[in-house]
Chain A
Amino acid sequence: MSLAPGTSVRVKADWPELRGRCHIRTPHYVRGETGTILRHLGDFPNPEDLAFARPAAATPLYHVRFDQPSLWGEGAPGDDIVIELFAHWLEPL
């Protein structure tokens, strides 16, 4: 899977921490939110497996842009937040 810059994506509204022990790199404040792919940063071992010393597959990592006012209902128009997110958290729209 490869997501081109400019692709709209929705971050999965998933909460694995409610199901047991886990290690995730997706901040709670973007789960379920819509952002835009800025660029593919490379492929890195999935930290969700790495943290438990399990075999960790190389996983695409993207820089994803979120509109600041849409996330928080406040903030200046045009301001944004950019986050590194792994492919399996992203659903293309």
Chain B
Amino acid sequence: MTIATLDHDTLLKALQRVLADKDIARPDEIAERIRITDAGTPAQGARMVAKAWCDPAFRTLMLADGASAAALLDIPMRGAPPLGVLENTADLHHLVVCTLCSCYPRAVLGYPPFWFKSAAYRARAVRDPLGLLTEFGTTLPASTALRVVDSTADYRWMVLPLRPHGTENWSEAELASLVHAGDMIGVTIPTVA
């Protein structure tokens, strides 16, 4: 039998045993990491956005230190890179890309959409961001400047979108249901159906 003919489960168990034997990673540490990874979904980021729309103190914390704000909502952030939050305003819209690879705020947004890592998205987000937004169906007012944020190093970036008009009396949970991954990347904006 060679390593190529072993099934995945056998290989995985062997690797876990070697990591434990060499005191690199214990099974409980691996289980904890899997739990943290599974906890990351766009719904977590949406909870943060909705709370920021309703709670000015949380908004201030989130803009200053995204990871602390996430931790306040019991989102697991241990071992996660610093989280930067980019505040959209009437004057400035943010669009996030990682031209070098695939940096993405997984702790709060989960796995990136399939197109986020594509060469086309990465090239066009920096070269033709307005054209790219148009293809996502997003049109910015002429008075709104566009800032592309290329995520090249140790931070991970998420966008805090503008709260849509007509949601003044909505609960946090209702607001969170409006917010999708694309809104927190900046390719789309939350809208009331």
Q: Which residues does A use to contact B, with CB under 8 Å?
A: 25-27, 29, 41-42, 44, 47, 61, 68, 72, 74-76, 78-86
Contacts and interface: CB of A to CB of B under 8 A. Distances in A.
Contacts of A42: 82, 154
27 contacts: A25-B152, A25-B153, A27-B100, A41-B82, A41-B154, A47-B153, A61-B155, A68-B129, A68-B146, A68-B148, A72-B127, A75-B128, A76-B145, A78-B145, A79-B147, A80-B145, A80-B147, A80-B148, A81-B126, A81-B148, A81-B149, A82-B148, A82-B149, A83-B150, A83-B152, A84-B150, A86-B153
Contacts, number: 66
A81 B147 contact: yes
B99 interface: yes
Nearest to B143: A78
A76 B150 contact: no
B-side interface size class: 20 to 34
Contacts of A72: 127
Nearest to B145: A78
A76 B130 contact: yes
Contacts of A85: 152-153
Contact of B154 (A27, A61, A68, A82): A61
A78 B145 CA distance: 6
Q: Which of the listed residues B100, B146, B150, B153 has the most CB atoms from chain A within 10 Å of its own CB?
A: B153
Contacts of B130: 75-76, 79
Contacts of B146: 68, 76, 79-80
A71 to B, nearest CB: 8
Interface of B: 82, 84, 99-100, 126-130, 145-155
Contacts of A78: 145
Contacts of B126: 27, 29, 81
A84 B145 contact: no
A81 B84 CA distance: 16
For A29, A68, A79, which residue has the most chain B Cβ atoms within 10 angstroms?
Answer: A79
B148 A44 contact: no
Given A44-B153, A72-B127, 13 more contacts: A25-B152, A27-B152, A41-B84, A61-B153, A68-B146, A79-B130, A79-B145, A80-B145, A81-B148, A83-B150, A83-B152, A84-B150, A85-B152
A80 B129 CA distance: 10
A25 B155 CA distance: 12
A26 B130 CA distance: 23
